[in-house]
Amino acid sequence: MRILIVEDEVLINEDIAMILRQEGYFVVGQAYDGATALDKINTQNPDLVLLDIHLNHALNGFEIADILNNKYKIPFVFITSYSDKSTLESAKSLLPMGYIVKPFKKKDIIALINIISFRISQTPPSLYFSHDEINQSTIEALTVKEYELLKDLADGLHNEEIASKHFIALNTVKTHLKNIYSKLEVNSRSQATSKLLRKQ
């Protein structure tokens, strides 16, 4: 399981990363602020994000969690030292898969992540091939961004909607699609989508 850690306290971030690596989990990145977190979410394609609620920068954990839910559909765990009613109610409304409460014990993190890893593994397979799976049949590997745009095509989004979703120019979308078609050796949206869909 690919895990991204978003925690602005460096020692805590490093402690969690060390615990996860010792347990055999793949830490794809460590972020100390919201902007870096969003960049790593976009480029590293994590399976799970461990997310501090109170980041000392422009974006807080609640805002990032909302983006994870609505744009990326990536599950997350909140890291927090706050247990007041208001914070907990706000956190619960965003439907995290769990909580890591500071100060934490190593065994508690391991138990939580092991449970979440099992839950994710039991989720029915996606209708779409994963990024790694689809790259096994391409003449050149799709980038993470190209894979995300390919899923947008399969979801029926128009070029303008894709541009808005990813905050990129319309011409950039067209360039990405041209590259995707070339790598998949197809000539149309429908052909590209058929490469992504698992046969039912």
Question: Can you tell me the distance from the alpha carbon of 56 to that of 51, in angstroms, rounded to the nearest whole number?
Answer: 13
Question: With a cut of 70, which residues of the chain have pLDDT below it?
Answer: 83, 123-126, 199-200
Q: How far is CA 59 from CA 12, 87, 98, in A?
A: 19, 16, 21
The predicted-structure confidence for 31-73, as pLDDT tens digits, reads as follows: 999 999 999 998 898 999 999 998 877 789 999 999 998 888 8
Name the residue with tokens 């990129």.
168
Please report the pLDDT score of residue 197 as a whole number. Answer: 86
The full set of domains in the chain, from first to last, is 2-121 (3.40.50.2300), 131-196 (1.10.10.10)
Q: How far is CA 138 from CA 101, 192, 195, 196, in A?
A: 43, 11, 10, 11
Which residues face 79 on adjacent strands?
52, 100
> Are 176 and 149 in contact, with CB atoms under 8 Å apart?
yes
Q: Nearest 5 degrees, angle CA 125-CA 41-CA 70? A: 65
